[in-house]
A and B are shown apart, each in its own frame.
Chain A
């Protein structure tokens, strides 16, 4: 890892070099009350004063809907057109938070757990992540409780920490990051003994994740799931804004003799998610679906891919129409005494 200083003007210049290259760039953009990642063409479009985008940026590697392959039938012949990794554009994610970059770690784990997902891996390989450490947080943030932090560099290719003089500390973390620096190497000056910790948000640790995972191991039949999920409406808002939720559905878009097979987002919160063709549904009640959501992220994923399925970004809590605050629910489970 290499540390460099970059001035305000340097940051702007480097950004413009990226924009002018063949890479597409996504950055947070303010629209009304919401901030979302959008394709950006100028430095001025990038949002500055906000805590978190509503949606995560996972769609860059795992789009809402993507064509797995398409086909065409002519008489007895069927021609298949497979996904072509060469069609994936080089992409830069600008000003994502450390929890966004960290979100790709469990996603990568899921998409490579047994089967190596060609599409996801191709997209991720062409993505360079420039995270900005967090100087602000809110009550929904809890990265420090799930092995992360406002200056966590895991998953990032470069991390920028903004300084009071308008300049920034740049931590160049990976070969992908180094390659991005070569677009404007003159902007990166020698390091200036900067203490990064002084410029980070204070995100208190709210629960002990080991303790939580321990409690969850024996909680399958606990009444807590019913208590917590009573007000849950069973929509997919939490899963769709989440940086690590990876459930998908596979659908057919057939038109006569041609068609496409499409992978699209799904959510374990939906009542039809586990509905069998027989009519039986092993998760008939919302409480069972809520349990699945929590256990998957904090029990099954650590067991299978050795990663938590949560980066503490707090998006699900902020997006929920009925305030299903995940931090509050996790804290109450972690603090529960064994009866």
Chain B
């Protein structure tokens, strides 16, 4: 029995948690798994193919129930947990956060602060395929980039899988659903789709932890994570924001201080 299964079994058997949110083998790839019985823990798996960001479930009270819940967190999930905790969306005493190291050891974190310390050793990696696309886009003229995004986003049919898969999109009523007044066209159209993605990128600016779940979830394959990634890059340069290390001065685009410089307004 591997150490993760061992740990999950004991947490459930001893009644420490009511469920363990982890991964099980799915149809073609691993998928999220809500394990509530000690006898089901043998289905738990953990490997590099486990890519769903499970932090997305931690802001859904109807799924968590009133008891304590354990979550098997990958590095991207840990980064999201730290950011969610910083935004006061998680209760430390209701969660048992586990991760599995490369040497298959199970770590149980004592609290959010310990996760932050742990994450300092892991720099956010961008895979080569993605980097190539970023470089290609950087090499384009403004007009070419606009054409690229108009073409890509014209395919969007507004299923909002990007929003649903994002742990940081936890609003109970998203800005696109506010209809008094209606800020963004609710139907799919090139303009409305672009409006939606600009909104998404701006709302995630300085909050996105770069897990890539939005693009992974997109059924039509639009590389929308590049928008939030680019934002992350700019904010890193301008504000020193590091994904997974919340800015103690507050999220950059939702924090205001009277002494903030205003010399950028021309």
Contact = CB atoms under 8 A, between A and B. Distances in A.
3 interchain residue pairs of minimum CB distance: A264-B187, A321-B217, A235-B164
A323 B27 contact: yes
Interface stretch (A70-78, A185-193, A237-245): A237-245
Given A262-B187, A321-B217, 5 more contacts: A54-B221, A64-B188, A233-B164, A251-B182, A321-B213
Given A230-B34, A231-B31, A33 B164 contact: no
Contacts of A249: 186-187
B161 A235 contact: yes
* A contact patch SS: loop
Contacts of B32: 230-231, 322
Interface residues of B, number: 36
A251 B165 contact: no
A177 interface: no
Contacts of B31: 231, 322-323
Contacts of B213: 321
B52 A54 contact: no
B146 interface: no
Nearest to A316: B219
B63 A264 contact: no
Contact of B216 (A231, A267, A321, A328): A321
B188 A265 contact: yes
A54 B33 contact: no
Interface of A: 32-34, 36, 54-55, 64-65, 139-140, 230-231, 233-237, 239-241, 249, 251, 253, 262, 264-265, 267, 270, 272, 284-286, 317, 319, 321-323, 325, 328
A231 B30 CA distance: 12
A65 B187 contact: yes
Given A231-B34, A323-B27, A237 B159 contact: yes
9 contacts: A64-B187, A231-B34, A236-B161, A251-B187, A264-B186, A265-B157, A272-B177, A321-B164, A325-B26
B47 to A, nearest CB: 16
A65 B189 contact: yes
A252 to B, nearest CB: 8
Nearest to B179: A251
Contact of A319 (B34, B155, B158, B219): B219
A139 B182 CA distance: 42
B36 to A, nearest CB: 9
Interface in B30-75: 31-34, 52, 56-57, 62-63
B222 to A, nearest CB: 10
A330 B182 CA distance: 38
B217 A264 contact: no
Given A233-B164, A236-B160, A321 B52 contact: yes
B27 A33 contact: no
A206 B48 CA distance: 31
A231 B33 contact: yes
Contacts of A285: 62
Given A233-B164, A235-B160, A240-B157, A54 B219 contact: yes
Contacts of A231: 31-34, 57
Contacts of B173: 272
A319 B217 CA distance: 8
Contacts of A239: 159
A208 to B, nearest CB: 21
A231 B66 CA distance: 18
A235 B182 CA distance: 20
Contacts of A270: 160
A230 B21 CA distance: 10
B147 interface: no
Contacts of A262: 187
Contact of A321 (B34, B161, B177): B161
